Amino acid sequence: MLKRIDADGGGPVSDANAVAAEPTREDPPNKVLVAEDNVVSQQVARHYLQAMGCNVVVAEDGHAAVAACARQEFGLVLMDLQMPHMDGLQATQEIRKQERPGHHVPILALTAKSAANELARCTAAGMNGLLTKPLDISRLRQVLDRFGLARSALESITGPGAQLNDPVDLMTLHAKFSGDTAFVRGLCQTFVTTTSQGLDEIDGAIAAGERSRIRLLAHKIRSGGSHVYAHRLAAIAANIESEAMTAPICELSAAADALRKAFDEATLYIGAGLT
């Protein structure tokens, strides 16, 4: 049974993190591969990493990540677990197979699930740990320091508590990116564009009864919503993701309608707040 999301909003996605022991490396290249299919998540990761002096390469799925690692050396790979064509665990296994002796790139999973549930299977696949989404800037800084990649200091960003009554917590979003209005506006525009497309696709998947695709699309919408602090939208998408394989299609359809309503509210709020 799909859980009801009250009108006053849902809670934010967990920000707990866990990192396992790192491999020994000397003078790693200051280049980070971000394997992530969600455009909003890509932009957030790129923004943080570049602010800390890293060169960033983005791969949109597991196959692209494997190919990128075959072409060049990275100091770190941030690998989303749920991607089309090849997921993060499979991609990690392929990267490990093709590594040359003495070259072992640190790979950290990016996941919205709790560390306790994911860490064991990530390390079994050859990963060195994980970071939970949405990314926490201070924790990411610690990871880069651990692997010798942070070349410039970035002030730890903190913001007020989430305003769960608002469709989007723009105050926290601005604080997260140090008041960089241009970046926030661009990030929100990407969120609106990609989520609108995702909602159309999830309606089609529900009509066709494609449960695995429903789950994948809900996951992407949840990730994008979390990064712009659209907590109610993210909570509804998380609910659809968790129930996609078992809930009656009629309930998934009703939840998708609620998701679209939350998106419409978020879009209007963003438009009013960023003008």
Q: Are residues 130 and 183 in the same domain?
A: no
Do 129 and 199 sit in the same domain of this protein?
no
Please check whether residues 77 and 175 belong to one and the same domain.
no
CATH number for 81: 3.40.50.2300
Per-residue model confidence as pLDDT tens digits over 60-72: 999 999 999 999 9
Whether residue 226 is contained in a domain is answered as yes
Check residue 161 and report its DSSP letter. P
The whole-number pLDDT of residue 226 equals 92
Residues 171-204: tens digit of each pLDDT? 889 888 888 889 999 999 999 999 999 999 999 9
Together in a domain, 22 and 141: yes
- Distance of alpha carbon 107 from alpha carbon 118, whole angstroms: 14
* Ranges assigned E (strand) in 107-261: 107-111, 129-132
Residue 196 lies inside a defined structural domain of this protein: yes
Is residue 127 located within the same domain as residue 194? no
Residues 179 and 129 in one domain: no
Same domain, 101 and 191: no
Q: Which helix or strand (DSSP H or E) is residue 78 part of?
A: strand 76-80
Within a 10 A sphere around the Cβ of 266, how many other Cβ atoms?
25
Tell me whether residue 27 is in a domain.
yes
For residue 153, being part of any structural domain is answered with: no
**C-alpha to C-alpha distances, 76 to 19, 129, 141, nearest whole angstrom:** 13, 12, 13
Say if 87 falls within a structural domain: yes
Residues 195 and 255 in one domain: yes
Please indicate, yes or no, if residue 192 is contained in any of the structural domains.
yes
Domain holding 26, by residue range, is: 18-146
Instruction: Tell me the pLDDT tens digit for each residue of 21-33.
Output: 444 444 567 899 9
3 state SS of 255:
helix
* pLDDT tens readout for residues 98-153: 998 878 899 999 987 766 667 888 888 999 888 888 888 778 888 888 888 755 43
Query: Which residues fall within 8 angstroms of residue 7, CB to CB, at 6 or more apart?
Result: none
Asked if 191 contacts 207 with a C-beta cutoff of 8 angstroms, the reply is no
pLDDT at 70 (0 to 100): 94
Do 197 and 130 share a structural domain? no
User: Residue range 149-163: average pLDDT?
Assistant: 41
Residue 13 belongs to some domain of the structure: no
Specify whether 92 is located in the same domain as 141: yes
In sign, the C-alpha dihedral spanning 64, 211, 261, 161 is negative
Q: Which of 130, 146, 162 is the last residue of a domain?
A: 146
Predicted confidence (pLDDT) at residue 260 exceeds the cutoff of 60: yes
Question: Are residues 31 and 130 both part of a single domain?
Answer: yes
Q: Mean per-residue pLDDT for 266-272?
A: 91
**How many structural domains comprise the chain?**
2
